[in-house]
Amino acid sequence: MQLKVQPIDIKVGKYKVILNTIDAKELGVNEGDRVRIKNHETLTAIVDFTEDMISPGMIGLYHEVKEAMQKEWTETIEVFPAERPMSTYIIKKVMDGKKLTKEEIDTLVRDIVEENLSEIELAAFLTSTYINDMTDDETEWLTRAMIETGDKLEFDTHLIMDKHSIGGVPGNKISLLIVPIVAANGLVIPKTSSRAITGAGGTADLMEILAPVEFDADEIKKMTEKVGGVLVWGGATNIAPADDKLIKVEYPLSIDPHCQMLASIMAKKGAIGATHVVMDIPTGPGTKIPNVQEGRKLARDLINLGDRLGMDVDCALTYGASPVGRTVGPALEVIEALKVLENFDGPNSLIEKSASLAGMLLEMGGVAARDQGYDLAIETLKNGKALEKFKQIIEIQGGNPNVTHKDIPVGEFTKDILAPTNGYILELDNKRLVQIARIAGAPNDKGAGLVLHKKLGEPIKEGDKLFTIYAEKEAKLNTAFQNANAKPPFIAEGMLLERIQSFKEI
């Protein structure tokens, strides 16, 4: 069928077109079917329907299709039905609980990367693997396919270090300390990080305050080779692109299939050429891993997959029931990290966790003897070598190497949440702390967040400051303040949790 082109400048993340229902009926396609556009042999698009947005005789091309056609743009195009990609049948096989071959997984991942599958089809795949986990072989093949379908970093040195946190703990700014400690001791650590999706600040959100974080794979390689380490946003690269596409579908479903989580983590490590990796697995109430037993199982699975991929993986089960340090939110966390680098001044939880994980990498890289890595990491912080290395990393990424913690602006509007009684902090709700920080504007408003004056187990007196909310906009501050008071993120000894009244009239 010959149809006149109508561009629709909307990004949908897929190759999609929209047809009037009359033309769709004439073509014999249903919503969700594919059509192929003549002279674009590799361009197959998913069909949407409309009765009035697009007139009969026309075809709406969403942004991605329009961009793909720029070199051969015409006023009219010939459109005909196309077969569903083989991956749709592979997904049905997964839904039936059958095992996949390496070739089938390669085909599936390639179709994911090339945008040949709809959100419904991806959701079916993810839901099926959430219910029925993949085997070790399938998970390895999935990981390798995710690595091979994207850009890869290849360094001349045979030791490439990396660190990853499973997440779920607010204020986990430790990469800002670990990367310079490791690089300052002569090891190579090209750290690609994420932005916050549900949190108050990912590592990339924090580092962006100090320097640009968006670079392609070749730029990351060159910068790392010059100074030994970088802190960049992985989403700006084409490293393991299938992972980002799957995460977008996982998020609204609120699922994270075990095999997909393993492949997601290890594909990013494999793509940057990592040979030695430390995994931070926070455990405890409010984290993704609620107890030590589940943490040990995940550690075994990560170590096993790393071994299959030729990586040396060590795992650290860490305490995750309380925030790391006393700040939550990009600018506030950067200030806290810089104080440690500049003056070795900071919360014990931040220093201990950073030095412990950095020490593991130093031992794995052979620059510290067994059980001596922690001491070397602490010494690297105290003698200023980590700070000097961090300045080099900031400068190579295009930031000001002379920045100090005093130069980082924070939200100008603040309010304090006060203790309602005397006693001790018995519980802290990590998820609620993150919610309040996000309501205040984090991570998009870099200066928004929380400063915790009291943490788990610490004594309080009525009227003491528990935490301070920072915001860049007064309206957001007031909303966050009301939210924090309506449902406090802490429980104090002797605190009245709720009043339930009788129905009797007084």
Residue 327 labeled ligand binder:
no
Task: Answer for the pair 139, 259: CB distance below 8 angstroms, yes or no.
Answer: yes
- Judge whether 288 is annotated as a binding position: yes
57 is in an annotated binding site: no
Q: Is 198 assigned a ligand-binding role in the annotation?
A: yes
Question: DSSP states of 482-494 as a string?
Answer: HHHHHS-SEEETT
- Residue 171, classified by CB atoms within 10 Å of its CB into exposed (0-12), middle (13-18) or buried (19+), is buried
Say if residue 195 carries a ligand binding annotation.
yes
197 is annotated as contributing to ligand binding = yes
Cβ-based neighbour number of residue 100 at 10 Å? 20
Residues serving a catalytic function are 256
Bridge-partner residues for 61, per DSSP? 7, 17
Q: Which residues pair with 327 in a beta bridge?
A: 451
Is 272 annotated to bind a ligand? Reply is: no
Q: Please tell me whether 300 is known to bind a ligand.
A: no
10 Å Cβ neighbour count for 308? 16
Tokens of 374: 């922690």
Q: Is 349 marked as binding a ligand?
A: no
Among 397, 95, 379, smallest CA distance to 219 is for 397
**Residue with tokens 């379908």, as numbered in its chain:** 149
Q: CA-to-CA distance for 334 and 356, rounded, in angstroms?
A: 20
From the list 440, 456, 465, 439, the residue with the least C-alpha distance to 491 is 456
Q: How far is CA 97 from CA 132, 230, 456, in A?
A: 7, 42, 45
* 460 annotated as ligand-binding: no
Prior bond of 459 cis (ω within 30°): no
Structure tokens at 300: 């075994």
User: Residues annotated as binding site for AMP?
Assistant: 168, 194-199, 203, 264, 288
User: Residues annotated as binding site?
Assistant: 168, 194-199, 203, 264, 288
